[in-house]
Structure 1
Amino acid sequence: MGTLTDLFTPDRVAVVGATPREGSIGRAITENLLADFDGETVPVNPNYDAVLGEPCVPEVADADADLAVVVVPPTIVLDAVEACGEAGVTDVVVITAGFGETGGEGAARESRLAELADEYDLNVVGPNSLGVMSTPSGMNATFGPENALPGGLSFMSQSGAFITAVLDWANDQGIGFKDVVSLGNKAVLDETDFVEHWGDDEETDVIIGYLEGIEDGRAFIDAAREATADTPVVLVKSGRTSAGAQAASSHTGTLAGSEKAYEAGLDQAGVLRAESTEELFDAAGILGSQPLPETDRVAVITNAGGPGVMATDAVGDAELEMASFSAKTTERLREAMPEEANVHNPVDVIGDADLDRFREAIEIVLDDENVGAALVLSAPTAVLSFDDLAESLAELQADAAVPVAACLMGGDRTREPKRRLQEVGVPCYFDPARAVRSLDALVRYREISEREYAEPTTYDVDRERALSVLQRVRERDDNRLGVEAMDLLDAYGIPTPDGEIVDSPEDAEMVAEEIDGDAVMKIVSPDILHKSDIGGVAVGVSAADAAETYETLITRARNYQPDATILGVQVQEMVDLEDGVETIVGMNRDPQFGPLLMFGLGGIFVEVMEDTTFRVAPVSDREARTMTEEVQSAPLLRGARGREPVDVDGVVETIGRLSQLVTDFPAIVELDVNPLVALPAADAGGDAAGDASAAAEGEPTDGGADGATGPDDGDRGVAAVDVRLTVDPAELPDND
């Protein structure tokens, strides 16, 4: 697949399946191209000599085209695309439906289409696509009823109907576009390809889109990070209320539906996510027309007290703050305004303000270095013309160093003033909250553009030992591993407390005698997830009581679930939880984004409190540390209500090591370390993992670098008690 530049700048476009028949898609596309396209349109159809007055050629090879738009029956699409490849056409848009969306034969056709694209190095949009547009050349290679107005937005959508609706509305609003793409089934080109292309396109000011899914989450994150350094990306992602994934056996899987993966992935990609079409275009409009604010401090200038308070509330709800004016600004406002006016933020010039008073207040506020952005808000009065106010604001913002948004609260009388403000790039709204939200988008994108992405830390680990643990699923009927997979964590330098799994009362007593102090004993079964709920955990067990406790735990497990697989009982040194904080670190492998890491408040309350945060692995130390700061229980880690701060550095390193583990071994599809007990930093043992569960699928592979040495636990401590690993044995290679 080559560059996408020629897709949007062809000299000759062949319409394969062009026809003069009324009501046909082939005719609609041909008409749209003939209407405004600067290049040549070549109808291709062996049944006609001419279509709509243009000479028609029988084969695409006769068209000498740069771009082919294929609109023939699905049964002959593959022949048409292959003919394009043979003819040297590099860019193809397949309008025809009847592919993967229909299943069966359609899915097979779509698979073959992708193979042809690879064979002939074709850029293919679709199938099942509305088409593509590019306004610089007037190219409308779609069957939609509207062409786009020229502008700086480049727009992609998985829904062709959404494109036609948006263009009809945008034309009425005067909103313009550079390129428009209907992604269709994304058999070849997908959202990642277009983000990458438009990120390098100097004529694209903002990338926007409507997506129902992302094909390759990791590739999208990488491409969007590059693009958003200079070009904002704003997306509506539908399906956010769907769980999106089957219920999983681990804590992480239960909490990490696909929506969590999209939230984490899009945030890591630097994408601004809009929840509605209104938010999408509000953000796109201001990002494409106003400068980025240097600070988060907003000033509001209004002639209406109530709406001014509404705007202030909206600032408090956003990632913004109300600006505090300098003494000089306050004094200048006091001199210029009547005594009844409020000269502090929000500035209320009061309802009898004429244009001169309003304009002077705006000038004074925009001159204050403490102001990062300004909102000019006005209700209609008999002494103020919206037209005059808009003209003054258009003049003032031209010299302003800060972004400006307007809010004109009225009906028909606002139509022309809004148009005038739009001409100079000042967004104008009816609702103060929308205006503030647009300014918030500027602040959020500024933070994104300033991000510094670090490479994940690579730790010395024992991959061969980890692989041998994963391979244990070959030896058993159940494809889940429990605490018998503790060596997996140890191999990756995640410290675990001393202990063993035993299968007799005598062995339980022997292991307990070797432990310094009392022990914790837990039933070991891949079929029993919540062991404490069935009395499967005993704490503070002395060596003298270990044998009897063993019998008790086994009996409880058998009574609870007679058919459960019981692998024994784990006898483990106790971790002091009094001064520590029980956290959880886990992973669930998402179909689109891959390994989705979770960190949060752990222990028995993890699924009740749901105090968690997510990231797509691999993560850097900076991202891992941010995870520890985002949870509501973060103050517990840093010392709250007289408690000692815990070893956050140890927690961060554990997240990093787990990130490396699940990245190295795609076979792992679920993994829990719960609790990961973080102990006071002053103690020798920094953090201790008290429970771990994992699930794996497919062939375990050594995904890391060669020559790695064994892990170094340092002063950290992790005790993993319960590990579940799920593997599909059919996916594993035969033993030789």
Structure 2
Amino acid sequence: MGRLSELFAPETVAVVGATDREGSVGRAILENLRSDFEGEVVPVNPDRDELLGMTCYPDVASAPAIDLAVVVVPPPVVVDVLEEIGQEGIGQVVVITAGFSETGGEGATRERRLRELAAEYDLDVVGPNSLGVMSTPVGMNATFAPENALEGSISFMSQSGAFVTAVLDWANDQEIGFRDVVSLGNKAVLDETDFVREWGDDDGTDVVIGYLEGIDDGRAFVDATREVVDDTPIVLVKAGRTDAGAQAASSHTGAIAGSERAYEAGLEQAGVLRAQSVQELFDYARALSGLDVPETDGVAVVTNAGGPGVLTTDAVGDSGLSMASFTDETVDELADAMPEEANVYNPVDVIGDADVERFERALDVVLSDPNVGSAVVVSAPTAVLEYEDLAEIVVEESEIHGKPIVPCLMGGERTDAPAAILREGGIPNYFDPARAVSGLDALSAYRDVRHREVDEPTTFDVDRDRAREILAQAKERDDNRLGVEAMDLLETYGIPIPDGEVVDDPADAVAVAESLEGDAVMKIVSPDIAHKMDIGGVKIGVPDDEVYDAYEDLVSRARNYQPDAQLLGVQVQEQVDLEGTTETIVGMNRDPQFGPLLLFGLGGIFVEILEDTSVRVAPIGEHEASAMVDEIQAAPLLRGARGREPADVDALVEAIQRLSQLVTDFPAIVELDVNPLVAGADGVQALDLVITLDTEKL
């Protein structure tokens, strides 16, 4: 165990605010601790000398040495108690008391003071507003939940205390055990990242699961989880959404890449398996805590019931798995071993009169097939089949072949005894074939997590000082937006841009145009006009002798459209030959929890119409940048589909990485759009730019 070992394995636990009043939280915690805890329980209450037959102490200073303090005093007293705990050198604290930041006002002030004291005295604090913590290896139930947890290898954290009590009640009925259980509460000090690190170091935790409504520091969570998941799978249910996705955004990226997509991207990059329901959360956890990880996605189905076999086949088709294609040798062996009426192709139907020996023979044959990575055994009850015997065969065959078998022994009470046999062998039983397949799907997904390629971000040689000067232009003019006037910013980070300048005089526009090769592209430059094309604020293919008039017309259109708009001039830019190229977009929206969220997709108008995009949390390396390109449905266009000349994908991947470095280097960049980033056979060029800034961070 790590630094939180005393939280989960204390020798002495004090309940500060203990009482014997019926129906009180202080009494419930005291009684829960007394029931099974291997260590000493110390009640603390200045008004009592004895509680429930135990010596009661007036304060923690007068009590015996304490490893863990559980605080359940009224809100105004918590801070004083916490300071006393800190002065006594007690490092682990659980604050049950509510009435902190969740109530606002004075409660938020109390929570700030709590954090300050935790930092001052180096306290590990769970809560406040927590149900408490459990650790079954030492029999500790320091909660006011009505049920204790059964012992197991799943460690569970929840942001909802009510969810913990409901899950414990259900899990006990299902005979699902836990190692540690934590109600996170307000997460004033310890949060989900701390417990991921702790349980990742704990040999007794096989799976970490959690119910979260938010992640306070997404980047830290991703970094911590990446170090854990190679050895310990993590499954989360993420409920709720932040306000970020609903806020008005000034760029395509902000509108498309809302906070929920940040969670999707961040958790995927972290290697977390995300469950969509509580049932799925525990289906995943049960499979991951007891079954071997399959080497391939091929599933064999063995059943004595045609209908459930078809349902299982459908479930495999709906998952990330596939029905295994048996070798000819497997089919021949099955044909020799099964009755003529049996189906020897996948799904294997051993028919309704099958006894346990027939199931055993079929399982042994299919699990020997190299194309089979796992198996589902689906059985309806019959008079000739003993479920207990079948359960023992499933455990034996799984051990012999080293491949996961998920049984679906359908029925009521008759499944209780065989389910216990299976649990003893680390194998869950599912009534619903779809849930059985879901468990296998989780195993396959976790295998992919362990085999995934994680590379460090490339650090390019860039001109940060010049970039900082360009960004400061917005602050100098008391604005928070930059557009094409800041195109040189991209060049400082090695992203090619066409030749050109922003000018505020028609004669200067002519001079710039004459210095360029070929015709010019001219764009109005205004931080107040986001969609220039919509107002005729862009002219393409302007010859030198028309540049003067084009300048005047662009300015006139802008003034007519928005008289109070700030006009910075007109950009005169070399016209890029777009024939044979593909317009893409690379953007960024800074998420409150995960930080810079990169977006890639088709550019121009297609980004809004098709919404064919991929996202990642920056910073990213070459592997993730390449995956962003490959994930969009339009990727074949870039690779040269239907005779098109392939784009320089390597240059595109590098540009994504360079923009990742840019937005990581400058937290002041809140949103960024490079649209379009034109990708052709000879490389990429950025043709337009929109940036929103938090100028206080410049």
Which category of TM-score, normalised to the shorter sequence, fits these structures?
Answer: over 0.9
What amino acid is the match of 2:36?
A: D
What amino acid is the match of 1:525?
A: S
CA distance in 2, matches of 1:415, 1:610: 49
Superposed displacement of residue 654, structure 1? 0.5
The question of 1:695 aligning with 2:692 is answered yes
- Aligned positions of 1:85-484 closer than 5 A: 85-240=86-241, 244=245, 246-484=247-485
Structure 2 stretches lacking a partner, 5+ long = none
CA distance in 2, matches of 1:318, 1:570: 51
Tell me, yes or no, if the aligned pair for 2:481 and 2:690 is still in contact at 8 Å: no
1:304-355 Cα offsets, whole Å, 9 max, x none, are 3333233223222222222122222111001011223221222122233333
Aligned to 1:493: 494
Aligned to 1:34: 34
Q: Please state whether the residue corresponding to 1:645 is helix, strand or coil.
A: coil
Tell me, yes or no, if the aligned pair for 2:591 and 2:597 is still in contact at 8 Å: yes
Give the TM-score, by structure 2 length.
0.97
1:186-216 Cα offsets, whole Å, 9 max, x none, are 1100000000000000000000000011111
1:52-80 Cα offsets, whole Å, 9 max, x none, are 11000111012221000000001010110
Aligned to 1:7: 7
1:231-284 Cα offsets, whole Å, 9 max, x none, are 000000001597645221011111111111111111111100111101100000
More displaced 10-residue stretch of structure 1: 456-465 or 503-512? 503-512
Residues 601 and 300 of structure 1, relative CA distance in 2, 3 Å threshold: same
Aligned to 1:641: 642
CA distance in 1, matches of 2:692, 2:35: 58
Tell me, yes or no, if the aligned pair for 1:584 and 1:676 is still in contact at 8 Å: yes
User: What is the count of residue pairs matched by the alignment?
Assistant: 696
CA distance in 1, matches of 2:422, 2:91: 42
CA distance in 2, matches of 1:698, 1:501: 22
1:500-557 Cα offsets, whole Å, 9 max, x none, are 1122332222222222112222221111212112222222221122222222222222
Q: Please state whether the residue corresponding to 1:328 is helix, strand or coil.
A: helix
Tell me, yes or no, if the aligned pair for 2:500 and 2:573 is still in contact at 8 Å: yes
Superposed displacement of residue 394, structure 1? 2.8
1:703-731 Cα offsets, whole Å, 9 max, x none, are xxxxxxxxxxxxxxxxxxxxxxxxxxxxx
What amino acid is the match of 2:55?
A: P
Tell me, yes or no, if the aligned pair for 1:470 and 1:700 is still in contact at 8 Å: no
CA distance in 2, matches of 1:307, 1:23: 48
Residues 334 and 502 of structure 1, relative CA distance in 2, 3 Å threshold: same
Aligned to 1:721: none
Residues 241 and 618 of structure 1, relative CA distance in 2, 3 Å threshold: closer
1:564-609 Cα offsets, whole Å, 9 max, x none, are 2222221111222221111110111111111111111111121221
CA distance in 2, matches of 1:516, 1:379: 78
- Aligned positions of 1:19-30 closer than 5 A: 19-30=19-30
CA distance in 2, matches of 1:339, 1:473: 81
Aligned to 1:613: 614
What amino acid is the match of 1:142?
A: T
CA distance in 1, matches of 2:289, 2:166: 21
Residues 551 and 699 of structure 1, relative CA distance in 2, 3 Å threshold: same
What amino acid is the match of 2:39?
A: G
Residues 242 and 406 of structure 1, relative CA distance in 2, 3 Å threshold: farther
What amino acid is the match of 2:281?
A: L
Superposed displacement of residue 98, structure 1? 0.5
Q: Please state whether the residue corresponding to 1:427 is helix, strand or coil.
A: coil
Superposed displacement of residue 700, structure 1? 4.8
Q: Please state whether the residue corresponding to 1:164 is helix, strand or coil.
A: helix
CA distance in 2, matches of 1:511, 1:314: 64
Superposed displacement of residue 389, structure 1? 2.4
Tell me, yes or no, if the aligned pair for 2:480 and 2:695 is still in contact at 8 Å: no
- Aligned positions of 1:658-677 closer than 5 A: 658-677=659-678
Give the fraction of aligned pairs with identical amino acids, expressed as a percent: 69
1:430-485 Cα offsets, whole Å, 9 max, x none, are 22222111111111111111234221100000011001011112321322111111
Tell me, yes or no, if the aligned pair for 2:330 and 2:369 is still in contact at 8 Å: yes
Q: Please state whether the residue corresponding to 2:642 is helix, strand or coil.
A: coil
Q: Please state whether the residue corresponding to 2:290 is helix, strand or coil.
A: coil
CA distance in 2, matches of 1:124, 1:536: 57
Tell me, yes or no, if the aligned pair for 2:483 and 2:688 is still in contact at 8 Å: no
Q: Please state whether the residue corresponding to 2:147 is helix, strand or coil.
A: coil
Aligned to 2:66: 65
Q: Please state whether the residue corresponding to 2:481 is helix, strand or coil.
A: coil
CA distance in 1, matches of 2:381, 2:563: 76
What amino acid is the match of 2:567?
A: I
What amino acid is the match of 1:23?
A: G
Superposed displacement of residue 369, structure 1? 2.1
Tell me, yes or no, if the aligned pair for 1:467 and 1:700 is still in contact at 8 Å: no
What amino acid is the match of 2:264?
A: E
Tell me, yes or no, if the aligned pair for 1:266 and 1:273 is still in contact at 8 Å: yes
Tell me, yes or no, if the aligned pair for 2:430 and 2:436 is still in contact at 8 Å: yes
CA distance in 2, matches of 1:567, 1:331: 79
Residues 102 and 339 of structure 1, relative CA distance in 2, 3 Å threshold: same
CA distance in 2, matches of 1:131, 1:244: 33
Tell me, yes or no, if the aligned pair for 1:212 and 1:239 is still in contact at 8 Å: yes
Tell me, yes or no, if the aligned pair for 2:245 and 2:257 is still in contact at 8 Å: no
Q: Please state whether the residue corresponding to 1:335 is helix, strand or coil.
A: helix
The question of 1:17 aligning with 2:17 is answered yes
Aligned to 2:529: 528
Q: Please state whether the residue corresponding to 1:641 is helix, strand or coil.
A: helix
CA distance in 2, matches of 1:303, 1:550: 80
Superposed displacement of residue 698, structure 1? 4.1
Q: Please state whether the residue corresponding to 1:596 is helix, strand or coil.
A: strand
What amino acid is the match of 2:643?
A: G
CA distance in 2, matches of 1:607, 1:408: 49
What amino acid is the match of 1:475?
A: E
Q: Please state whether the residue corresponding to 1:500 is helix, strand or coil.
A: strand
Aligned to 1:519: 520
CA distance in 2, matches of 1:243, 1:277: 26
What amino acid is the match of 1:4?
A: L
- Aligned positions of 1:718-733 closer than 5 A: none
Q: Please state whether the residue corresponding to 1:92 is helix, strand or coil.
A: strand
More displaced 10-residue stretch of structure 1: 298-307 or 658-667? 298-307
Superposed displacement of residue 650, structure 1? 0.5
